[in-house]
Copies of this chain bind each other. A is one copy, B any other.
Amino acid sequence: MNPSGLEALIEALRCLPGIGPKSAQRLAYHLMQHDRPGAARLGDAIQHALQAIRHCQRCNTFTELDICERCASPRRDASLLCVVETPVDMNMMEQTQAYQGLYYVLMGRISPLDGVGPRALAMDKLLARATDGMVREVILATNYTNEGEATAHYVMAMLQAHGINVTRIARGVPVGGELEFVDSGTLAQALRERRSVGAN
């Protein structure tokens, strides 16, 4: 029914999470009818991002550099390594202004129901990072959801097997809640009250 270029756009828009066939059609019509400049900007931004955005070799977050500015900064405490699920969570930690160490971003969480196991999260990269000789303490700041807890447990077991001191942010974060939606005060509290986990 639609010209092929429009059908291709509708189909391509469905790669966005939460966008079904009807929504994709509406988005495509909107872009072609009402916002061609916006569509052009979007097309350019996607192609630029695909080319420029990669993962920091040290902390695994999104960056346009080999090593991101935070990891390269001499003002951060290289003896502390905070493990978070996503860049959003890292930004939330930064906003507390209660942490001066470095990060490792898992870019996900262990979730057997979604078929995401330890291998998909490149845990070996985290292990190499945590055993570089500088890190004295690894702070687990994954979410207090079931998946986040499972992830924390896996990371803890992996790192303690290598003799690394592992802590977990305090359960000030509401059980079942996600870091992204917690206020900075609560998160700062949880960070201060981090506790040792496992057999130590």
Chain A facing B: main interface SS:
helix
Nearest chain B CB to A114's CB is how many angstroms away?
A: 11
Nearest chain B CB to A55's CB is how many angstroms away?
A: 9
Does A35 lie at the interface of the complex (its beta carbon under 8 Å from any beta carbon of B)? Answer: yes
Contact flags (1/0) for A22-40 with B, using CB distance below 8 Å? 0001111111110110111
CA distance A68 to B3 in the complex (A): 9
Instruction: Give every chain B residue within 8 A of A9 (Cβ-Cβ).
Output: 45-46, 48-49
Instruction: Give every chain B residue within 8 A of A99 (Cβ-Cβ).
Output: none
Does A91 lie at the interface of the complex (its beta carbon under 8 Å from any beta carbon of B)? Answer: yes
Instruction: Give every chain B residue within 8 A of A36 (Cβ-Cβ).
Output: 50
A5 x B48 contact (CB < 8 A):
yes
Nearest chain B CB to A72's CB is how many angstroms away?
A: 13
Nearest chain B CB to A94's CB is how many angstroms away?
A: 7
CA distance A88 to B14 in the complex (A): 18
B8 x A49 contact (CB < 8 A):
yes
Known: A45-B9, A46-B9. Contact between A63 and B3, CB under 8 A?
Answer: yes
Instruction: Give every chain B residue within 8 A of A5 (Cβ-Cβ).
Output: 45, 48-49, 52-53, 64
Instruction: Give every chain B residue within 8 A of A33 (Cβ-Cβ).
Output: 107-108
Number of interface residues of A (CB under 8 A): 52
Does A182 lie at the interface of the complex (its beta carbon under 8 Å from any beta carbon of B)? Answer: no
B53 x A30 contact (CB < 8 A):
no
B30 x A17 contact (CB < 8 A):
yes
Does A12 lie at the interface of the complex (its beta carbon under 8 Å from any beta carbon of B)? Answer: yes
Instruction: Give every chain B residue within 8 A of A35 (Cβ-Cβ).
Output: 15
User: Can you name 28 A-B residue pairings with CB atoms under 8 Å?
Assistant: A1-B87, A1-B94, A3-B52, A3-B64, A3-B65, A4-B64, A5-B45, A8-B45, A8-B49, A9-B48, A9-B49, A12-B44, A12-B45, A12-B46, A15-B38, A15-B39, A16-B31, A29-B62, A29-B86, A31-B49, A32-B49, A36-B50, A39-B46, A40-B50, A42-B46, A43-B43, A43-B46, A47-B47
